[in-house]
Amino acid sequence: MLVWGIKQPIWEILRWRHQRATYQLGYFAKLGGCIPELDRLKVFSTNYDLCVEDACRSKAISVITGFDQKTGRWNPSRFREGARGVNLYKLHGSLNWSLNEDIQNQFIIEQYPPSWNKEPDLILGPGSKLQHDDPFVTLYSEFHAALREARTCISIGYGFNDSHIAEPVREASNGGMKLIDVNPSPMGYRTKHYMNIPMGARAAFESGEILKALHSVER
C-alpha cells in the first residue's frame, strides 16, 4: 500500500506536466553533440519522465530503449542494433511502461507515444530500489558493463543518493574514469577524477559547457 500511495501521485504529476503546453524540454536533444561519430551514446536515467525520448526524437535522433518498437515487448538485443544514436537505459522504470493485459502471462510492455491510461511500472523507495527481474536486471547489468568500459561519465542533476548507482560510479572514477558532475549543488563526496559544472541541466546544455568539459577531458 505504501508503494501504491507513493506511485499514484508521482504518476499523476508527471502525466499532467507532460501534457501541458509548457512541456518544452528540447534542450535534451543537445545530447546529440555527445554521440560518438560511429557509435551510440549510452544514457542511463533514474527518472520516469519521457524528456530524453521526446527531445531526441523531435530532432530525428535515434533512441533505443531496449523494447521492440512494433510489439512493445522487451528485447535487449535492440541495444546492439542501429547506427549512430542514443541507447537509453531507464534503470527505475518509465511512465510509458505497464503490464500487458494477459493475467496468465504478464510482462512489461512499452508504449510510445504513451496512452496515459495505464498505471506505469516504476521502481520506488524505500530501500535499494532494485527489482529482481527483467528489464531491470539487464538494465543494471548494462550499467555496470558501461562503467567498466567508459573513459568519461557525465552526471546531470543526479544527487548520488542511491547506493546501487553511486558506489559503482565512484569505484569506476577512482579507477580512472573521469566524472563530470553537472549540478549546482554537487554531490557530497569526491573521486580521484572529478569535475563539477555548477549549473542546472538546461543552462549547461544551452551554454555548451557540457560539450566543452567533455572535449577538455577527452583530449
pLDDT per position as a tens digit, 75-132: 999 999 878 999 999 998 888 888 888 888 888 899 988 877 777 777 654 445 556 6
Q: What is the pLDDT of residue 82?
A: 76
Give the Cα separation of 153 and 193 in Å (integer): 10
Q: Which of 54, 53, 72 is nearest to 64 (CA)?
A: 53
pLDDT digits (tens, 9 = 90+) for 131-145: 668 899 999 999 999
User: How many Å apart are CA 51 and CA 202, to the nearest integer?
Assistant: 12
What pLDDT, on the 0 to 100 scale, is given for residue 11?
A: 72
Q: What is the pLDDT of residues 155-202, one digit of tens each?
A: 999 988 888 899 999 999 999 999 999 999 876 667 888 999 999 999
Pairing state between β 178-182 and 63-64:
unpaired
From the DSSP assignment, how many helices (H) and strands (E) are in the chain? 6, 8
Given a contact cutoff of 8 angstroms between Cβ atoms, the answer to whether 185 and 161 are in contact is no
| Beta strands 40-45 and 85-90, pairing class | parallel
Q: Are 178 and 190 a contacting pair, CB within 8 Å?
A: no
For residue 77, give every residue at least 6 positions away whose Cβ sits within 8 Å of its Cβ, in sequence order, or none. Answer: none
| Cis amide prior to 9 (ω within 30 degrees) | no
Pick the closest to residue 152 from 199, 207, 212, 201 (CA basis): 212
CB count within 10 Å of CB 24 equals 9
What is 84-114 written as a DSSP string?
SEEEEEETTB-TTEEE-S-TTS--EEE-SS-
**Which candidate, 45, 44, 47, places its Cα nearest to that of 17?**
47
CA distance 3 to 122: 10
Task: Give the integer Cα–Cα distance in Å for 68 and 216.
Answer: 37
When the pLDDT of each residue in the chain is averaged and rounded to a whole number, the result is 86
Whole-angstrom CA distances from 115 to 14, 51, 68 are 14, 16, 17
Phi-psi region of 182 (alpha: psi -120 to 50; beta: other; left: phi over 0): beta
Cα distances (angstroms) measured from residue 146 to each of 4, 143, 165:
32, 5, 12
